[in-house]
Structure 1
Amino acid sequence: MQIRNIAIIAHVDHGKTTLVDKILHETNVFRANQETGELIMDNNDLERERGITILSKNVSVEYKGTKINVIDTPGHADFGGEVERVLKMADGVILLVDAFEGPMPQTRFVLQKALQLNLKPIVVINKVDKPNCRPDEVHDAVFELFFNLDATEEQLNFPTYYGSGKNGWFNSSLEQCENITPLLDGILEHVPEPKIEEGTLQLQITSLDYSTFLGRIAVGKVTRGSIKENQPFSLMRADGSVVKSRVRELYVFESLGKKKVPEVLAGDICAVVGLEDFTIGDTIADFENPEALPIIAVDEPTMNMMFSINNSPFFGKDGKFVTSRHLRDRLMKETEKNLALRVVDTDSADSFLVYGRGILHLGVLIETMRREGYELTVGQPQVIVKHIDGKKSEPYEILVVDVPEEFASKVIDLVTRRKGEMLIMETKGTMQHLEFEIPSRGLIGMRTQMLTNTAGEAVMAHRFSEYKAWKGQIPGRGNGVLLSKEGGTTTGYSLDKLQDRGSFFVDPGEEVYAGMIIGENNKPGDLVVNPNEGKKLTNMRASGSDAATNIAPKIQMTLEECMEYIQHDECIEVTPNHIRMRKVLLNEEDRKRVAKSMKTEA
């Protein structure tokens, strides 16, 4: 049977996962009466809640006697480590672009990786049924993007399909047709068959699977030779060592699941059971004459955070895993499959420095651990500073903001205050398209301010560009915080009296402890308040004074918003049921002493 291996790449929200759903339905993967729902591939809770793809996944369909292996990839640059390795399995890519927004910064990031690997591109312009869409302009913009990324003559000559994934049609012209078969025919026509070299077995492990029955499973594409059940082989490690092992079971992808097979030939993607100690990038090679494939290169992390055990007064109330050994084992396990993540031990046995691609990348890891029953404390995200040619350098990003014209000046003002420089300003329909170059530090905490200043209308995206000279001090949070004076339960009476001091992150009746951040001060500087004071009961009553207290509801903050909100002397306590912000030093006297010593040093 002929094989085609294709990856689908696009900016977040342009419709990748919906397209995969339609391919699965079109090729009759499901029975006619089977309830499947939407977003079949985004099958973990976090992906469904956020509406984004985090982990790349494989699925295979059969069309006109050809097996098509489809790889769904994440659109966020934060999960670039996922994309870089799975593209190694593909021979062609479908670049999916929104007919209104056109190519976005993260599309550029993934497309660049695909073109460098010499993959054959097919461009699909999606959502042509949307009002004010501009498919012809978008087609020109895509061509320009290919040209800027140094595409070859052959890659520049890409086929284009138009359609609507939601309505289930794609065609080589703007004319609506009944289904997506023109696109499937285009995949068979334009995507080359896998290149098969002569020689002995070579298979690079590009992703990891896990089964409670079979243990760890290695997934990759057989680039040459064939692999059989029970066959002995050599595992070539990244550090140069060679381990002899044997294939216990072999699986190929079929529809949404896997099928056990006795042998897999070159060109197909398969899952190998029987390996214990392997990492992504290792090569499964011939037993007698092993030859390794080049190691997968992944871009460097740009941000780090301190992960520590939870040492707050509420330690151990929620979580199952609370010790530093639990935390260390879990982080080390994550680095095996999450290539862009690094974990470094610190001087303290209870803290670890975790390096990642961005706030979303680290936030998803923390959220996953929290749901698994871990308790931990995380510090303020810091960018990674390097010394290049003796100069202090920091990472810079390209920030793209699309916003209605009346808010453009507010956006420019906000970005320039954070040391950003404008590169491009142009009009797209009723929207202003702005591009800036900004230090990564300037982006931390910007999203909330951006949405406040533009009434929620701004669409922003950013990607790492390069390391450049340090830009100096960037203004942080303007206002101080309200801190709890002592532990106890908050009362409505107390919060009502304190409302003119600021806005609260807690409701009446919540447990708090000394040093916990319970709200935002209206002014700069931190303020210690007592939210637990009850009303003194007397026999005297005055009409109207006991009317129900009128307290504004608390401000709900997500984990990523908390990560962007905290300053260097604050941290976040994360447990399965709660996310609380607090000072690193809970005792007020300790904080004053440290502040005093810092002043004398300065």
Structure 2
Amino acid sequence: MTKVRNIAIIAHVDHGKTTLVDKILYHTEQMNDQKKLEGDLILDNNDLERERGITIVSKNVSVQYKGIKINIIDTPGHADFGGEVERVLNMADGVLLLVDAFEGPMPQTRYVLGKAIALGKKPILVINKVDKENCRPEEVMEDVFDLMFHLDANEDQLDFETVYGSAKNGWMGADWQKPADDVSYLLDTVINTIPEPQENQGTVQLQITSIDYSNYIGRIAIGRVTRGTIQPNSPVTLVKRDGSMVKSRVKDVFTFTGMAKEKASSVSSGDICAISGIENFDIGDTIADFENPEGLPPISIDEPTMSMLFTVNDSPFFGKEGKFVTSRHLRDRLYSETEKNLALKIEETSSPDSFKVYGRGVMHLSVLIETMRREGYELQVGKPIVLIKEIDGAKHEPIESLSIDSPQDVSGKIIELISQRKGDMLKMEPKGDLMHLEFEIPSRGIIGLRTLVMNVSAGEAIMAHRFVRYEKFKGEIPSRNKGTLIVLEAGTTIPYAMDKLQDRGRFFVGPGIDVYQGQIVGEHNRDNDLVVNVTKTKKLSNMRSSGADDKVKLAPPIDLSLEQFMEYIEDDEYLEITPESLRIRKIFLKEHERKKASNKAL
């Protein structure tokens, strides 16, 4: 058996995890010079990950160092991808906890670290970005120790090694004030600290923890061999999560080398591999011995905390931009997503055109929507709804731990915003030039909060949150306090008409944009909805020239991201999503239909 170490990397969004893995690949010469010249982050290889600077899907990389194979698993840092994290940690024997030398451990880091400690994994602390001004590596190390203590780490886990460095500058060492030449100190620490996988006796067992896909060989199962040896063309039994068994056959077995997969003649217990040829498998199933199959316990997945209605696009602009527009397309795509996205659940509704989709949070659902959008789908979604549970006859709702680092002069306004949304403050302390605030707040209160916090802090606040537990329902939370500007008749937005309406509110669209009746084009200054005519042209008389209009000055439209739009809409509105546009509309496009519906609701 080749000597193997399996490590998962845990880090908060943007703390430098993917950059570090890139540097390890360069150092162990698993990377050719061509890639070096391109200078791109190799691991975050899908467009969404690169744009957002976050890891969404875990990835496997393997390097050879001093005759030992090190399998590195990159984990998502955001709590919304909890389903992904849980599975990944099952493949590792230890974790690299990567934290920023200024920010220290963040709520998302805490979430994944808690999972790793509960599973008994051995941690190594990597304090990154020590080249930053006003960094505080010693204090951060103390913070991490306190955090591990609070997470009930055992003595062996609390006795962790600490490595300091700057992934961006390509070094890791024992002392943050003495830069090293490369990342070899970190790799030596991994080999000396992380235990070798145990050699388990018995028949073959491998739990499928992630799924890859190839156009040539179809679905590929990825997992760690827990027992025995897997060889190509060997018969196996697939033990499903529900306990049923299916006879099958392994076609090819691949191991990871650098970023690539290579065919192997056999893979022994402790190593991570990819397998082709097996049909109809799901994440959590076990590939076991053909004659004496023994399944591994199924992976537990965090429950969804939020639901959204997904429906076909029935707006007047239906089918103009997308390739996939029917309910069959939408249905097939959503169900195919549940195969690899374990934390996602789909429920049929009474209407054949709409589906209830349950997920871990706005970020989790927005990544799915953005991916579908780029694949050419058109759809509409309703307002995100937090799931309320009935416990002992009383309503309970999900509560989240929220941390905000904001400029000190706006911290008072932020505290006021959060207390309006039933949040309780737990901690307030200075952190460098910023003020560090910690709260517990209902998940309902977080929907739409980011936009308000960013407006108050002029975009300077750093906000992170994670699910903690269910608590008794906290009562009503005020939602959006402004009404909307609704289009009266279809046409193209005219600068002259928009100029006359500027004192009524702010627009989401600019001039020269096609709009339809019932579409929402702006936010009203007051709390009621206002129907406006943005397509009205100026009547020309023989006294006025058409050129006199050119001096109209319009404020730039508000540019909202997909997540901000999802958080902005109300119960009687839909967000229309097409490959090129995001539009908000009223569910009932005609004014008399809206009045009828509101009278019914009363």
How far did 1:129 drift?
A: 1.0
Percent identity of equivalent pairs: 61
In structure 1, the residue matched to 2:149 is 147
- 1:479, 1:387 → 2: CA distance? 32
How far did 1:22 drift?
A: 0.6
How far did 1:549 drift?
A: 1.5
How far did 1:493 drift?
A: 1.5
In structure 2, the residue matched to 1:54 is 56
Q: For 1:370-398, what per-residue CA distance to the aligned partner results, in whole angstroms no more than 9, with x for missing partners? A: 11011100000000000011100110001
In structure 1, the residue matched to 2:127 is 125
Alignment of 1:109-188 (within 5 A): 109-174=111-176, 175-188=178-191
- 2:550, 2:259 → 1: CA distance? 60
Aligned 8 A contact 1:21 1:38 in 2: no
Moved over 6 A (4+): none
Number of residue pairs aligned between Structure 1 and Structure 2 = 599
Alignment of 1:419-430 (within 5 A): 419-430=422-433
In structure 1, the residue matched to 2:8 is 7
How far did 1:149 drift?
A: 0.5
Secondary structure of the 2:149 match is helix
Q: For 1:556-592, what per-residue CA distance to the aligned partner results, in whole angstroms no more than 9, with x for missing partners? A: 1111010011111111010111110001111110111
Say whether 1:207 aligns with 2:210. yes
How far did 1:544 drift?
A: 9.0
In structure 2, the residue matched to 1:79 is 81
Say whether 1:261 aligns with 2:264. yes
Which amino acid in the other structure matches residue 48 of structure 2? L
Secondary structure of the 2:90 match is helix
Aligned 8 A contact 2:540 2:546 in 1: no
Secondary structure of the 2:517 match is coil
Which amino acid in the other structure matches residue 246 of structure 1? R
Aligned 8 A contact 1:8 1:95 in 2: yes
Which amino acid in the other structure matches residue 508 of structure 1? P
In structure 2, the residue matched to 1:89 is 91
Cα 1:546–1:272 shift into 2, 3 Å: closer
Cα 1:247–1:589 shift into 2, 3 Å: same
Instruction: Note the residue ranges of structure 1 that are not aligned, 5 or more in a row.
Output: none
How far did 1:172 drift?
A: 1.7
How far did 1:321 drift?
A: 0.8
Secondary structure of the 2:181 match is coil
Alignment of 1:154-553 (within 5 A): 154-174=156-176, 175-541=178-544, 545-553=548-556
Secondary structure of the 2:255 match is strand
Which stretch of the first structure deviates more once superposed, 423-432 or 46-55? Answer: 423-432
Instruction: Note the residue ranges of structure 2 that are not aligned, 5 or more in a row.
Output: none
Q: For 1:305-335, what per-residue CA distance to the aligned partner results, in whole angstroms no more than 9, with x for missing partners? A: 0000001111111111111111111000000
Which amino acid in the other structure matches residue 18 of structure 1? T
Q: For 1:26-67, what per-residue CA distance to the aligned partner results, in whole angstroms no more than 9, with x for missing partners? A: 101123455342311000000011111111000111111111
In structure 2, the residue matched to 1:100 is 102
Alignment of 1:559-578 (within 5 A): 559-578=562-581
- 1:463, 1:258 → 2: CA distance? 34
- 1:132, 1:120 → 2: CA distance? 30
How far did 1:597 drift?
A: 2.3
- 1:177, 1:228 → 2: CA distance? 42
In structure 2, the residue matched to 1:27 is 28
- 2:545, 2:203 → 1: CA distance? 93
Which amino acid in the other structure matches residue 71 of structure 1? I
- 1:240, 1:68 → 2: CA distance? 33
Aligned 8 A contact 2:406 2:462 in 1: yes
How far did 1:542 drift?
A: 7.1
How far did 1:176 drift?
A: 1.4
Which amino acid in the other structure matches residue 517 of structure 1? I
Aligned 8 A contact 2:13 2:53 in 1: no
- 2:459, 2:325 → 1: CA distance? 38
How far did 1:543 drift?
A: 11
Q: C-alpha root-mean-square deviation of aligned residues, in Å?
A: 1.2
Cα 1:509–1:542 shift into 2, 3 Å: closer
Cα 1:28–1:544 shift into 2, 3 Å: closer
Secondary structure of the 1:89 match is coil
- 2:566, 2:547 → 1: CA distance? 42
Secondary structure of the 2:419 match is helix
- 1:196, 1:335 → 2: CA distance? 33
Q: For 1:404-445, what per-residue CA distance to the aligned partner results, in whole angstroms no more than 9, with x for missing partners? A: 221111111010011101111112222211111100000000
Q: For 1:180-208, what per-residue CA distance to the aligned partner results, in whole angstroms no more than 9, with x for missing partners? A: 11101001100111112100000000000
Which amino acid in the other structure matches residue 26 of structure 1? H
Secondary structure of the 1:102 match is coil
How far did 1:501 drift?
A: 1.1
Secondary structure of the 2:501 match is helix
Aligned 8 A contact 1:18 1:38 in 2: no
Cα 1:544–1:273 shift into 2, 3 Å: closer
- 2:482, 2:470 → 1: CA distance? 30
Which stretch of the first structure deviates more once superposed, 173-182 or 19-28? Answer: 173-182
How far did 1:553 drift?
A: 2.0
Secondary structure of the 1:209 match is strand
How far did 1:109 drift?
A: 0.3
What is the TM-score of this pair, normalised by structure 2?
Answer: 0.98
Q: For 1:208-236, what per-residue CA distance to the aligned partner results, in whole angstroms no more than 9, with x for missing partners? A: 00000000000000000001110000000
- 2:22, 2:549 → 1: CA distance? 58
In structure 1, the residue matched to 2:68 is 66
- 1:217, 1:546 → 2: CA distance? 62
Q: For 1:438-470, what per-residue CA distance to the aligned partner results, in whole angstroms no more than 9, with x for missing partners? A: 000000001011011112221111000110011
